[in-house]
Each structure stands twice: as C-alpha cells, then as structure tokens.
Amino acid sequence: MTGLKDKILSISRRTRATPFTRRVEAAGVRGYTVYNHMLLPTFFDSNEADYWHLCEHVQVWDVACERQIEVRGPDAKRLVQLMTPRDIRRTAIGQGLYAPLCDETGALLNDPVVIKLADDHWWISIADSDVRFFAQGLALGYGLDVEVGEADIWPLAVQGPKAETLVTRVFGDAVPSIRFFRSKMLEFRGRAMMVMRSGYSKQDGFEIYLNDADLAEPLWDELFAQGQDLNVRAGGPNLIERIESGLLSYGNDMTQAHNPFECGLDTFIDLDADIESLSLEALRPLKDTHEHILTGLVFETPMTFERFEFEAGGRVVGDIRSQVWSPRHRLHLAMAMMKSDFVAAHDSVEIAGARARIVPLPFDFDAISRAEVSA
C-alpha cells in the first residue's frame, strides 16, 4: 500500500463517543482514530506541535477507548492467567502488569495492562481488539465461574513533565508517592477512583480511571483550571513521541500474525512458571527460533514510502509497521517486522533508495549518534 493522505472520518454511533468528547471537541480536536470502536483523539494542532508541547508541559488525553474488560468471580484469576503467559500470581492489589495475551499457538491477541483490584476482580485495560469475546468464549467453554463485561470506566490520561504537579493539585499530596504502574484510590468531588502512574508516553504521567461518567466534564474542567499556569492543553497519544520512545502499538507494530518473542516482549513471558496458561507450551520452542523480530530502522533524511514491505537479496526481508520523522533527532525512525536471520547478519538495509541502519528497540539515541552509517 502507498502512504495514504488522511481523509474524513465518518462518525457514527458505532464509532463511540466518550464522556469527554464534548470537551475534546471544544478544545479543537482535528483528528481521530477509532480504537476499540471508540473515538481516540490523535492531534489538536499538528503532530509536531503537539509533540513539543507534550515534552515540555502537560496534556490531558481522552483515552476512554482503553476499555476495561472486567473479570469477576471465583475463577477470575484463573481466566486471566489462561490468557497470558506472564505470571500474574504476585500482582499486588492496585498494580498494573503489562501482560501480552496469546492464544494456544502463541499468537498475540492484545497487549493490555492487567490490573488487579482483588483476587477475584481484575480489569484488562485493552489495546485495540475485542478481548471480551475471547474471555467470554473461554469462560463458557471451560465452564468457569466468572462474569465478563466491559466496565463503565473512562480512563483519562495526564501526560508530560508537569503531569505530577497538575495531578497533585487535583488529587492531593498522595500523588507523588505513586510508583510506576502502581495506583492509589483518590478522591475527586468526594468520589474515590483509581489513579495510576502510567500512560502511553515516556514523559511521565498518570491515568485516572474515572468511574462516573457524570464527573467527566467536571474532572476535565478542573484539570484545565488548575493547569492554566502549567500551559495545560488537550492532546492524545503522539505518533512522534511514542515511536521515539519505542512504545509498541498493537495492530500497527504487531498483530495476531506474530508471537510476543517476535515483538521483543521476552521479559513479559514466564516460560518456566508453574501456571495454567494457554500459550506456554506453544511459546517455549519459539523463544529462540522465531521467524521475525521487530526492529528499529534509522534513516538520515525524511522518507515517504510507496510500499511498506522491502526486499533484499531477492526476498522480502521486512515490513515497515510504524514510521515518523523525528524533529528532535533529525532522523526518520521506523519500526519494522523483519526476518530474524537477515537482522542477525546485517546492520543496514536499503529501502526506497535510502540506506537505513538496523538498530534494536527501544531506540538508543546516544548509541545512534555515536555510530556511523555502515554500508
């Protein structure tokens, strides 16, 4: 496929609005994508202007599309463990765990953050696929004593170097002591809700798991009122920032055609754990033999691609999944799903008339700037 110019999104009830959408619209949103059948704002000014602002100030993001698949009941923990090869046994209450979900072949179905509310009560904070259906099918087939649903939870992210200051002003002095991927139940207008240090950027920040849609606009307004001197703005997951930071996007960088080792998710797979997980048996032999590896590519000049697959030596050796010009590093960065054997044997590849360095993910810009382009 050629690179496509953005078009109009025809919005309908099927592309669900969120409790924040009126405020997002009032803030001048210019672009959306559709994520879990829901509107996700992508940019307000431009990708680049939003990027610089995110890295310097603080932004409020409507990420209500991070739907919470709620699993409750005596078999809740068993069902969650069946779906992920990551050992969830030592998860603390209120802790989030990045946990790839896989089927019995080891194929990746989603890469959510799994959150433990109680031993018999879990949220699966999903990327863009209907995990609820997989959980429902398994629960029915295995006869599990569990309820599966989509919770009325509307995550709102506050991201950027001034996020801690802003969230502290709104939720109080307990905020700074929240550690990464940990949470506290904190009050807004007398209602307790989960506030976690997390989010889809590397600029620090929090996700507020709003549990009352009627408080969506008051919460939004309070963040903007308290953040005026911090230069708070509306934003969304930023393409430039997330690629620079090496944050993966399910559906973009990897799909059900891939297993977690191909995505470099080895540290989140507990191959030797004594757990009941659907994918463990299939994953064991794949650890050192997977066909693809998600890899960084670095071009010296801005690129446009007529097609995303690229060849070397007469065969397709890779597929560019995400890519963007980095205005900070003055480099064109890409994530590509490449043939493992090619990556093992080469440190560069020619694509669309330009030479790209092959580098590990996440990008190490110090190492990149030290290295020369190798032929």
User: Can residue 191 be called a binding residue for a second copy (CB under 8 A)?
Assistant: no
User: Can residue 249 be called a binding residue for a second copy (CB under 8 A)?
Assistant: yes
User: Can residue 8 be called a binding residue for a second copy (CB under 8 A)?
Assistant: yes
User: Can residue 245 be called a binding residue for a second copy (CB under 8 A)?
Assistant: no
Given the complex with a second copy, which of 101 and 196 has the nearer CB atom? 101
Query: Distance of alpha carbon 309 from its chain centroid, rounded?
Result: 24
Q: Of 93, 232, 108, which Cα lies nearest the Cα of 170?
A: 232
DSSP state of 6: P
- Contact segment (CB under 8 A) with a second copy among 125-133, 209-217, 219-227, 267-275 equals 125-133
User: Can residue 316 be called a binding residue for a second copy (CB under 8 A)?
Assistant: no
Residue-by-residue DSSP string for 204-251: -EEEEEE--GGGHHHHHHHHHHHTGGGTEEEE---HHHHHHTT---BT
Given the complex with a second copy, which of 149 and 285 has the nearer CB atom? 149
Closest contact distance (angstroms) between CB of 179 and a second copy is 30
- For residue 228, what are the contacts with CB-CB under 8 A and spacing of at least 6? none
Alpha-carbon distance of 187 to 204, in angstroms, equals 21
Three-state DSSP state, 16 = strand
Residues 242, 247, 249, 255, Cα dihedral to 10°: 150
Radius of gyration (C-alpha) of the chain in whole angstroms? 21
Given the complex with a second copy, which of 31 and 362 has the nearer CB atom? 31
Given the complex with a second copy, which of 48 and 204 has the nearer CB atom? 48
Given the complex with a second copy, which of 30 and 330 has the nearer CB atom? 30
User: Can residue 187 be called a binding residue for a second copy (CB under 8 A)?
Assistant: no
Alpha-carbon distance of 48 to 328, in angstroms, equals 10
Site for a second copy in 68-87 (CB under 8 A): none
Given the complex with a second copy, which of 13 and 90 has the nearer CB atom? 13
Closest contact distance (angstroms) between CB of 58 and a second copy is 22
Given the complex with a second copy, which of 162 and 332 has the nearer CB atom? 332
User: Can residue 118 be called a binding residue for a second copy (CB under 8 A)?
Assistant: no
- For residue 22, what are the contacts with CB-CB under 8 A and spacing of at least 6? 217
**Number of shown-chain residues binding a second copy (CB under 8 A):** 57
| From candidates 23, 32, 159, 199, binder to a second copy by CB under 8 A | 32
- For residue 47, what are the contacts with CB-CB under 8 A and spacing of at least 6? 238, 239, 240, 324
Q: Of 185, 130, 137, which Cα lies nearest the Cα of 175?
A: 185
User: Can residue 7 be called a binding residue for a second copy (CB under 8 A)?
Assistant: yes
- For residue 90, what are the contacts with CB-CB under 8 A and spacing of at least 6? none
User: Can residue 276 be called a binding residue for a second copy (CB under 8 A)?
Assistant: no
Given the complex with a second copy, which of 22 and 191 has the nearer CB atom? 22
| From candidates 188, 206, 299, 308, binder to a second copy by CB under 8 A | 308
| From candidates 77, 321, 332, 339, binder to a second copy by CB under 8 A | 321
Given the complex with a second copy, which of 214 and 347 has the nearer CB atom? 214
- Quick note: the x/- pattern for a second copy over 129-168, rule CB under 8 A, is xxx-xxxxxxxxxxx------x------------------
Helices 163-171 & 216-226 angle (0-180, nearest 10): 120
Three-state DSSP state, 357 = strand
DSSP state of 201: S
Residues that bind a second copy (CB under 8 A): 1-2, 4-15, 17, 21-22, 25, 29-34, 37, 42-43, 103-104, 109, 128-131, 133-143, 150, 239, 249-253, 256, 278, 308, 321-322
